[in-house]
Structure 1
Amino acid sequence: MRLLKIVPDNTNIAFVRVRHIAFAITALLTIAAIAMVLTRGLNMGVDFIGGVSIEEKFASPPPQDEVRETVNALGVGEAALQQLGGANTVTIRLPVPESADPAATDQMVEKVKAALAAKFPGATFSNYSTVSGKVSDELIQNGILAVVLAVMGIAIFSWLRYEWQFGVSTAVAIIHDVLMTLGFFALTQMVFDLNIIAAVLTIIGYSINDKMVIDDRIRENMRKYRKMGMKELIDLSVNETLPRTVMTSVTIMLALGALLIFGGHVLRGFTAAMMLGIVVGTYSSVYVSSSLLITLGLKPGFREDKAEASNAERVGPREG
């Protein structure tokens, strides 16, 4: 069993010592992610922008310009193309027909299938999906609302369970994790759809679980070592939970690696988002969230000392 230990026992890594470097790196990455989203934008899937998504598999990697010209010549709207999985599979995104009749959509898909089969011998149709513009608007609103409520709920829970510093540090770390995921999808231009929203919510759940374990240990050590300096106490707490943190991350990454290899291109975006989320979530738990408590002025025995001082004021000095 000793050979299976990824992190040795009794580690003594000075995480707090490099907190200013970690904060600077975190700030730069966050700014870069926001800039990437604002400049490049997200490659929204049919779930969010509406339209018809046709998946076509070719015998060999096709020239995308020729595929686009072939589809645009049919008069069914301007086509947006993206390669999925291997270079032979292409997703063609088209606007929903004006009539919004399922029969009209079927006719449009059949026309595209026939044109591509004639132009590119060996091309085969896989499947298609369609979402109306009204539904896509509702999905965008509900997706944003779900993420915002999740972050707010976690921050409030941390505030009530511990001190306000824990709530703020947890919210900052989770917002960082979400922005890193959005920046990654803006950089890679992978399709951003409802599967990715599910991945983001899963990442938030993993991050809060990881942070709660560390916060619980910090809280426990605050009561146990009331005279210990906050830097030493946080380093001790993070090192004590480090084997659990790393083992959990590695175990999940192994499962996601198998899903990435054998899950097919349909789950590739979800898996990529999850793998990135595990990495940045672990980083933010160890280097950002815990060390931020010092910057926010947390002290050992903070809540207990405050309660005792309040009681002493109410009781007043005892008579000799």
Structure 2
Amino acid sequence: MTKESRIINFMGVRHFTSALSIVFIVISIASLAINGLKLGLDFTGGTQLELLFDKPADLNKIREVLEQEELKSPVAVLFGSEQEVMVRTQDQMKEKAQQKLSAAISALGSGAALEAVERPAREMEGFADTLVLVNVSSESVQQQNLFAAADYGRVEYQQRDGKTLVTVENSIDSVYLRRIIADIEQATSSKIELRSSEFVGPQIGDELRDQGGLGMLVAFALVFLYVAVQFQWKFSVGAIIGLIHDVIVTLGFFAFFHWDFDLTVLAAILALIGYSINDTIVIYDRIRENFRILRKMHPHEVINISITQTLGRTIMTSASVFIVLFCLYFIAGETLQGFALALIIGIVAGTYSSVYICANITAALGITKEDLMPKVRDESEVQETP
């Protein structure tokens, strides 16, 4: 078998691969437009709890309790040890507690409802919340024992403008949280210590989202400048289109399958940009070298030879990264699954784009050996050189 017979005709299928890429991008954009990204707690805001169990935690039973409470996107993972559990949900405990109380009060009938949750009056020092109830008397509420002293501490009832005011010592979110912990204790037959309870506001999530988007734009701009300086602007266009393809396809998968998009996934997207451009640079460097050596060959032939020569390196690099990512996905736990999944999809797309998109776009822009030959200094520059 001669050397020439081993050259793979990548450019011969460029029209097919271009059409395939366009189809994937259209589907991805349509998924993003219709479904949108299912933003995680990092971007939407929510609650994060750290629980310490007196014995190894049963995550499956914990997740069952969280699902029974109908919490939004609940996550329960181990951290530190088998007895330490982190619970995350996009729900805010105060809003969730208010929903539960509203349902319980509405069940009293006669149009009873929870109108609002207010701050207690100044004279009610030491109390946490004031609940404004309509169409229900304080006697009815007390008969149903909705605000037991064991849970809410001191409870004061007042009337204002025909409405019943219930002022409680313990905040409704803290009571609701204790009830969830009690349910988990019962389901897992263990004792639990609440080590911390943190709230992530949606405003912080908006800032993280905006900064992440800005980070991607800056990465694209720096990649374009780097490739233009090191190679040629036609290579830069191909590299940027390839990177945009990788990012859109990866985001499209997350939108299509409704997977959670959080900070770990955003970090994977940024890492993907670095990985994909590294693979593309290796191919570009070989194309530049071969254009200077194989001067009589057609540009498509030079590109075919260059990609074939670097194909082994591309496959081995991608395979070694895949091994690590599969280990992360199946062994490292739920926290890193999104990160690993985004990189698995992105690396497949990045390997494909490095071979079939970046070089294809560069060839379509009419790259020639003249674009890559070193510039010859004119005689005036040579005479001025000391």
> If the length of structure 2 is used for normalisation, what is the TM-score?
0.66
Structure 1 residue 260, shift from structure 2 partner = 1.5
> Is 1:111 matched with 2:179?
yes
Q: Which residue of 2 aligns with 1:131?
A: 200
User: Does the 8 Å contact 1:57/1:90 carry over to 2?
Assistant: no
- Work out the percentage of aligned pairs sharing the same amino acid: 32
Letter in 1 for 2:337: R
Q: 2:91 aligns with which of 90, 94, 97?
A: 94
User: Does the 8 Å contact 1:222/1:233 carry over to 2?
Assistant: yes
Q: 1:15 aligns with which of 10, 14, 17?
A: 10
Q: Which residue of 2 aligns with 1:210?
A: 279
Letter in 2 for 1:213: V
> Is 1:276 matched with 2:345?
yes
> Could you tell me how far apart the structure 2 residues matched to 1:166 and 1:107 are?
61
> Is 1:31 matched with 2:63?
no
> What stretches of structure 2 of length at least 5 have no aligned partner?
51-57, 78-85, 96-117, 119-127, 129-169, 382-386
Q: Which residue of 2 aligns with 1:76?
A: none
> What stretches of structure 1 of length at least 5 have no aligned partner?
1-7, 69-78, 316-320
Structure 1 residue 261, shift from structure 2 partner = 1.8
Name whichever structure is richer in helix by fraction. 1
Q: Which residue of 2 aligns with 1:44?
A: 39
Secondary structure in structure 2 of the residue aligned to 1:259: helix
Letter in 1 for 2:205: S
> If the length of structure 1 is used for normalisation, what is the TM-score?
0.79
Structure 1 residue 57, shift from structure 2 partner = 3.8
User: Does the 8 Å contact 2:45/2:202 carry over to 1?
Assistant: yes
Q: Deviations over 1:40-82 (max 9, x none)?
A: 11111111111225699443984987432xxxxxxxxxx4235
> Could you tell me how far apart the structure 2 residues matched to 1:90 and 1:135 are?
19
> Could you tell me how far apart the structure 2 residues matched to 1:231 and 1:15 are?
9
**Larger RCO (alpha carbons 8 Å, 6+ apart):** 1
Change (3 A) 1:303 1:241: closer
Q: Deviations over 1:98-147 (max 9, x none)?
A: 89x9x9665553333335666xx348889965311221111011100111
User: Does the 8 Å contact 2:239/2:280 carry over to 1?
Assistant: yes
User: Does the 8 Å contact 2:67/2:74 carry over to 1?
Assistant: no
> Could you tell me how far apart the structure 2 residues matched to 1:273 and 1:266 are?
13
User: Does the 8 Å contact 1:228/1:300 carry over to 2?
Assistant: no
Change (3 A) 1:184 1:129: farther
User: Does the 8 Å contact 2:269/2:342 carry over to 1?
Assistant: yes
Q: Which residue of 2 aligns with 1:229?
A: 298
> Is 1:248 matched with 2:317?
yes
Name whichever structure is richer in strand by fraction. 2
How many residues of Structure 1 are paired with residues of Structure 2 in the alignment?
288
Q: Which residue of 2 aligns with 1:67?
A: 69
Structure 1 residue 271, shift from structure 2 partner = 0.6
Letter in 2 for 1:13: I
Secondary structure in structure 1 of the residue aligned to 2:199: strand
Of the two, which has the highest radius of gyration? Answer: 2
Q: Which residue of 1 aligns with 2:72?
A: 80
